[in-house]
Amino acid sequence: MRYCSLGSGSRGNATLVATDDQALLIDCGFSRKVIMQRLQEAQQNPQTLVGVFVTHEHGDHAKGVQALCELLDIPIYSSFGTARKMGWTEHALWQCIRSEQPVELGSMDVFPVVVPHDAEEPLQFVVQSTAGKRLGVLSDLGTLTPHILQAYNGCHGLQLEANHDPVMLMNGPYPPGLRARVAGNFGHLSNQQCAELLQRLHWQGLQHVTAGHISEKNNARELVSQTLSGILGCRAEEVKLLDQDSISAWLHL
């Protein structure tokens, strides 16, 4: 199994996960035009996509989902709450998914995981290949829960949210209400919370760690690298950070 970020941040998110014979997207927070360009950059034939898994209804995750799925005639997988917010409950391509109920797709199984975030019914995902490799994709959550730690245990690849530095957030440009939302239990993970999560999930089978959903206003990439490199026992330059406007390299598990 291999994976690649097609962009990550508050202006759009999409993660491509593929095996030899099929691929899926987790979120599509970009226009159809942009996502098609980025699939091409990643050298992934769109016809191999078997569905888009949507974490929640926020525009940076869901904006381009319906247009892409209609173009390719592939399923939209989301919770009922997300579908209701997006107006998909009557849509022919919508498939309802529930936490704790894996979706089996040939060479990949997708496990939806409930997370605390200020959306209707947000889910995040662990993808497991038939070869037993596990990729955990996790963003848009305000706090860590025992359920999340259990669900993401034993992942060989982790793509985690490192949204903000608390000091930069408090001194940054956001109005007080928005600041409180981001920092709250239903907001986003800080660099420190991301580090704590990584510490809890670190094990000898972990091959790749990437950090994403990095705020352009309330964080600095050096701070993310510094915070995570200590836990990974590597140099700050070696920590892989995702970009808003460009795709990442493919990572193999």
| Binding-site ranges for Zn ion (CB under 5 A) | 58, 60, 140
Q: Which of 50, 52 has the CB closer to Zn ion?
A: 52
SS3 190: strand
Q: Closer to Zn ion at the Cβ: 60 or 165?
A: 60
Rounded least distance, CB 205 to Zn ion, Å:
28
DSSP 42-66: TT--GGGEEEEE---SSHHHHTTHH
Q: Which CB, 8 or 225, lies closer to Zn ion?
A: 8
Quote the CA–CA distance of 191 and 103 in Å, as a whole number: 31
Q: Say how far apart CA 164 and CA 37 lie, in whole Å.
A: 29
SS3 95: strand
Closest approach, Cβ 234 to Zn ion, in A, equals: 27
Residue 60 or residue 121: which is nearer to Zn ion going by CB? 60
Q: Which residue type does 69 have?
A: C
> Could you tell me whether strands 23-26 and 49-53 are parallel, antiparallel, or unpaired per DSSP bridges?
parallel
Select 121 or 140, whichever has its Cβ closest to Zn ion.
140
Give the orientation angle of helix 32-41 with respect to helix 65-72, to 10 degrees.
70
CB of 164 to Zn ion, least distance (A): 12
Minimum gap (Å) between residue 110 Cβ and Zn ion: 19
In the complex with Zn ion, the residue whose CB is nearer, 14 or 135, is 14
Which residue minimizes CB distance to Zn ion?
58
Write down the least CB distance from residue 9 to Zn ion, Å. Answer: 8
H helices of the chain, in order, are: 32-41, 59-62, 65-72, 80-86, 146-151, 166-170, 176-183, 191-201, 221-232
Cβ–Cβ < 8 Å for 228, 239: yes
Query: How near is the Cβ of 182 to Zn ion at its closest, in Å?
Result: 10
